[in-house]
Structure 1
Amino acid sequence: AKSERRGDVGDNWLLLIAEGEVVTLERSEVTGEGRCELGKDGGRRVTSFLSRFSAVPGEVLTAGDLLAVGREGEEALLASLFINSSLFINSVDGKAASKLRLLSGQPSLWKLTAQSSAGARAFRVPLEKVSALLCGVPSLLRTPLGISSALRCHPMFAQVDHKVLDKLSFSFTLDSFAPGGALHEEGRVAERMHILLSGSVQLSTRHGVATHARRVCCTYASGDVIGYRSILADIRPDPKPDPDTNPDLVPTVVEGGTAVALSECLTLCLDRSAARRQLPPGLRASLLRLRDETISLAPVDPAAYAVERVIARGSFGTVVAARHRQSGALFAVKKVNRSIVHEHVLQQQLLAERAVLAAVDHPYMCGLHATFKNAAALFLILELCEGPDMYTVLQQHGSISAAATPVYTACIVSALSELHRRRWAYRDVKAENVVFVLSGAVKLVDFGLAVRTPVGTRHFTVCGSTEYMAPEVVDQVGYDLGADWWSLGCLVYEMAYGFTPWILDPSGRPNFGLSDTAISQRIVDASRPLAFPAPPAPPPTPPLAALLHGLLRREQALRLGCRNCGADAVKGHCFFGGIDWDDLIAGSVPFPPMPAARGEGGVGGGGGGGLGGG
């Protein structure tokens, strides 16, 4: 309505005016000079061809007009639709059939006002989802303008210099694959590198030398890059002759699996010669850090490991500490009995854990070294995290110190950031899944609930622990990567006070007897604000309070980590003012000493037997 004050609705949306007139007004306290710039959300200045679509103060939008705000690539892709499609550039009675106006990544500079007392109606949809759909429209991607816009939507290419990206866009071509079509074959050099825009691709390897059976390794989704390894892996950074000057040099690396389209697929492809010549070194390094199961999981001889002790037992099987006989390194080996693997839920969790750990390598995620099986069980050979889990420490010590909480939280944020960059939702952030290591850092473990989440995908499965569930998970209205940031907020609160935020009574005292149903009702109750414990508990510091209020926003579009900056907004929060994120990744941050906890170190002994026994 004309008199209605619209609250902040986020910084990623496309608005279609359906009825009435809306006026765009620039906020008086902000100079117009910043209107053409993208903030930290998108990176750099909007490309020149977008200027014709930029909103101007006092512009009237009528039915059929569009207003959008998002990351640079998303806005550019939408603009390329208008530039390339006759649907929008044909005239009707001398006027444009429809208008597009962009806010250049900064909705905070603008406010919208209904022109008449009758008000106006409009439809709103996340621009991120619109751009994901546009990436599957072939006619948009047959020109360098559309290709450049689509590349800017990809997290790896978004940071590439504009001039380099514009040059690259002339080398990329659009290709499509029918179901069953091969993008590359195992044991051969890929002729082209593919960026998957739509559809899905399965990667498989030969299962044994004398058989035609194949083992499925993983499934690629939109946004994944395929076939880059055999093209780039043998490019040496220094020595002469420089392979960059000789793209036809015989490669020393071949693809470890065969990639076949499962459905109709659309890809942007770059041939081998152009990839080796034109991809900047930083982007090549980022690509080569990506993993899949064909390169990360080597064959294993079970007899090479000696079991030393039992760490845990459960209905699924056993976790033991085992030492590699040759290197002396200790590993955690998860043994899952075949008798229960036929259960669908457990089978999916095993596959998810193997897939995410094989695909993502990060210093604050428990690493996967290998998998193997015998007639009795399946085995995952994992990094051994020697310390207790966060839940045990909180139970025994009550809370984490104010000095240590930012460091531990930064480790988790760094791991979630990498998972989200690869479009994996973790879905199980909780104290039990955060484990201390000898260095004093913490790592995420147990990835059985992780799931691939391409742009535009929503999940409806209710999973995880109730106390950490986001409102959209509880309400079953669909959720994506943003649910992890809510769960992180619950965990940070728990580290500070020893319990999760939604069990506080009006008196400010925790009620540990609340049922899951009661906790769920409190999570979705918009009238219940975030509260902090009553004295003698200390009040939160301003940075901690700001972080918790940002992460525990019930409106996902406004939640810290869910806006255009994504994980960078979380990393840039004042709560992490003392964290150097590069040093954190390098492991050179001074960590607090690993907390001691009674009962850590597992139970029982393992003797010196191998892993292969039933």
Structure 2
Amino acid sequence: MVPLALWCCRLWALSEQVKVTKKLNGQEKQIRKMGKGEHFGELALIREILRTATCTAVGPVTCFSIDKEVFEETIPIEHLELHDDISSKVLEEPDAPEKTSPSSYLRLKDLIPVLYQEGRYQGEPVTLGVGGFGRVELVTTLHHGKYFAMKRVSKKHIVAKRQEEHVLFEKRILKAIKSDFIVRLHSAFKDTRYIYMIMEFCVGGEIWTKLKEVGRFDEPIAVFCAACVVEAYAYLHKKGIMYRDLKPENLMLDAKGYVKLVDFGFAKELVHGNKTYSFCGTPEYMAPEIIQNQGHDFAADFWSLGILVYELLVGSPPFSSSEPAKIYPKILDGVLKFPPYMGEGAKSLISKLCRPRPGQRLGNTKNGIKDVRHHRWFSSMNWHKLRVGQVEAPTIRLIRKGPCYINFDRFPFDQALADEEFSGWDKNL
């Protein structure tokens, strides 16, 4: 019998199986069977706690074992199926009701607006954000008491801007995405005037708002925020999705202080090795190859990561102007000016992410995103603990306590109704 605490083992050759047992209510009960190629013990290494399950060989078994150091260097744990923890939880609580997904009970008619409780907009519906796309409003349900961010977009506006395919794509990919570093889409609805996307509500507000409040972030906060973006990128790029709209306004804080990407209006699926030629993004964050229309790929996301790190540490992006047309020549010149208080590690990371040639950019060379994770600026980050939510977020001190909307800017309620739209482009939404 081998306790699941010392190594991570992968089963190589066996004539029978390995059974996994755990003591439940005073009795040893079987919780799982494993066969060739499966693994055990990874949770002990990830979470650094003693596991209580036991593996017993049923017949001849050969195992390859690796220690914690090798494990962290070689195993991409974000994609491991962590069976031993889940299985035992199921058996310990056989009568526990399964967690209900909001998508199973949400209906548009049941969503009610949350109202401001004080201030100049007291009694009006809470608006979390406003943009050219429409509005994001805070809503709840009478029976479940959960909060949701409802993105409401005019169908007439979508048609006028020829954004039908973008909206359908955004809904499709958000519905499929399951990452703790990307905001969840629970449901989507429509009527004759609007498309409604019911999103996870991130109570901590926008990184942009927090950055405005404090001026610039201390390095530990910037490291944490950037690390969350790296994990979101790793997930998206593996699925062949470019994000293309990184900026502090599109980063939200959840209740734990973890950072999540929102707004996939510029996201695009791309086969690795191919390029696309769309001119899109926020001017300050655009990579040179987008501006020059040379064709771009996933490397453009790494450029914008470098710009983000700079803005988090300085309070403003390195290339800026009140006129967008004046920003582009500065980006193409590529001269990065660092303030004297910026550390050498940050300068190194930003310089490598913002190399003019996409093929030389950190994250876009042979080792891919691993090179970003291994850069010395991230030396304090335990990536495995970050992925399983065990890093204590330094951003938590940025989140104010009070009404659920306290971490958001306030906006007046817009009572105007959008025109109706009947073309039917959204029939498959």
Note if contact 2:155-2:195 (Cα within 8 Å) is conserved in structure 1: yes
Structure 2 equivalent of residue 595 of structure 1: 398
Aligned to 1:336: 153
Confirm or deny that 1:524 pairs with 2:332. yes
**CA drift at 1:572:** 1.3
Asked if the contact 1:357–1:368 (Cα under 8 Å) also holds between the matched residues in 2, the reply is: yes
Contact 1:489 1:552 in 2 (8 A): yes
- Partner of 2:358 in structure 1? 556
- Structure 1 residue 299: deviation in Å? 7.2
Output the TM-score relative to the length of structure 2: 0.66
The answer on 1:575 being equivalent to 2:377 is yes
1:471 equivalent among 288, 301, 308: 288
CA distance in structure 2 between the aligned counterparts of 1:297 and 1:442, rounded to whole angstroms: 23
Letter in 2 for 1:424: I
Flag the 1:529–1:319 CA change in 2: closer, same or farther, 3 A: closer
Secondary structure class of the residue paired with 1:501: coil
**1:519 partner SS:** helix
Does residue 547 in structure 1 map to residue 349 in structure 2?
A: yes
Task: Provide Cα deviations, 1:330-380, integer angstroms capped at 9, x if missing partner.
Answer: 111112223323235332332232122112211111111111222332211
8 A contact 1:356–1:450 mirrored in 2: no
Which letter does structure 2 place at the counterpart of 1:557? G
Equivalents in 2 of 1:564, 1:571: separation in Å?
14
Matched position secondary structure for 1:560: coil
Q: SS of the counterpart of 1:569?
A: helix
CA RMSD of aligned residues (A): 3.3
Shift of 1:316: 3.8
Paired position in structure 2 for 1:391:
208
How far apart, in 2, do the equivalents of 1:319 and 1:410 lie?
A: 26
Among candidates 173, 176, 198, match of residue 381 of structure 1: 198
| CA 1:376–1:605: 2 relative to 1, 3 Å | closer
CA offsets, 1:87-108, max 9 Å, x none?
A: xxxxxxxxxxxxxxxxxxxxxx
Counterpart position of 2:6:
none
Matched residue SS, 2:308:
helix
| 1:300 Cα deviation from its structure 2 partner | 4.0
Deviations 1:537-563 (A, max 9, x none): 51x212111111110111111110001
Aligned residue type for 1:372: F
Kept after mapping to 1: 8 A contact 2:257/2:399: no
Q: Cα 1:564–1:297, aligned 2, differ >3 Å: closer, same or farther?
A: farther
| Distance (whole Å) between structure 1 residues aligned to residue 329 and residue 351 of structure 2 | 19
Cα distance in 1 for residues equivalent to 2:275 and 2:335: 26
Q: Distance in 2 between matches of 1:296 and 1:555?
A: 44
| Distance across 2 between alignment mates of 1:545 and 1:282 | 29
Q: Alpha-carbon deviations, 1:86-142, whole Å to 9, x = none? A: xxxxxxxxxxxxxxxxxxxxxxxxxxxxxxxxxxxxxxxxxxxxxxxxxxxxxxxxx
- Aligned equivalents of 2:78, 2:265: Cα separation in 1: 32
Per-residue CA deviations over 1:475-501 (Å, capped at 9, x if unaligned) read 110111110000010010011111111
Aligned residue pairs: how many? Answer: 317
2:335 and 2:193 mapped to 1: Cα distance? Answer: 52
Residue 307 (str. 1) matches residue 307 (str. 2)? no
Q: Secondary structure at the match of 2:235?
A: helix
Aligned-pair CA distance for 1:522:
2.0
State the SS of the aligned residue for 1:403: helix
- The answer to whether 1:323 aligns with 2:162 is no
- Kindly tell me: are residues 282 and 412 of structure 1, through their superposed partners in 2, closer, same or farther at Cα, counting changes over 3 Å? closer
State the partner residue of 2:310.
493
1:585 to 377, 387, 398: 387
What is the SS of the residue equivalent to 1:417? helix
Are the aligned partners of 2:139 and 2:147 in contact in 1 as well (CA < 8 Å)?
Answer: yes
Give the CA deviation at 1:450.
0.4
Give the distance between the partners of 2:393 and 2:267, measured in 1 at CA. Answer: 27
- The residue type equivalent to 2:375 in the other structure is H
Pick the aligned partner of 1:415 from 203, 222, 232.
232
Q: Distance in 2 between matches of 1:457 and 1:345?
A: 25
8 Å CA contact 2:236, 2:242 repeated in 1: yes
| 1:452 has 2:266 as partner | no
Task: Provide closer, same or farther for how the CA distance between residues 416 and 282 of structure 1 changes in structure 2, counting only shifts above 3 A.
Answer: closer
Structure 1, unaligned stretches of length 5 or more?
Answer: 1-160, 165-237, 246-280, 287-294, 504-511, 607-614
Deviation at 1:580, TM superposition (A): 1.1
Q: Hey, what's the Cα distance between the residues in 1 that align with 2:239 and 2:388?
A: 20
Residue identity matched to 1:352: F
**Residues in 1 aligned to 2:181 and 2:240: alpha-carbon distance in whole angstroms:** 17
Mapping of residues 279-298 of structure 1, within 5 Å? 285=81, 298=104
Q: Offset at 1:297? A: 5.7
Which residue pairs with 1:484 in the alignment? 301
Q: Deviations over 1:575-604 (max 9, x none)?
A: 111111121122111112242588725445
Aligned 1:264-279 pairs, distance under 5 A? none
Over 3 Å counting, the alpha-carbon distance change for 1:601 and 1:395 in structure 2 is closer
Q: 2:21 corresponds to which residue?
A: none
TM (normalized to structure 1)? 0.47
2:251 alignment partner, one of 430, 434, 440: 434
Distance in 1, matches of 2:288 and 2:297, equals 12
Q: How does 1:116-515 map to 2 (within 5 A)?
A: 285=81, 298=104, 300-308=106-114, 309-311=125-127, 312-314=129-131, 316-343=133-160, 345-503=162-320, 512-513=321-322, 515=323
CA distance change for structure 1 residues 324 and 423 in 2, over 3 Å: closer, same or farther?
same
Q: Deviations over 1:26-48 (max 9, x none)?
A: xxxxxxxxxxxxxxxxxxxxxxx
Task: Give ranges in structure 2 of 5+ residues lacking alignment.
Answer: 1-9, 14-29, 37-76, 83-100, 115-124, 401-405, 415-429
Does the 8 A contact of 1:419 with 1:425 survive in 2? yes
Conservation of the 8 A alpha-carbon contact between 1:387 and 1:601: no
Q: Is the 8 A contact 1:426 1:447 kept in 2?
A: yes
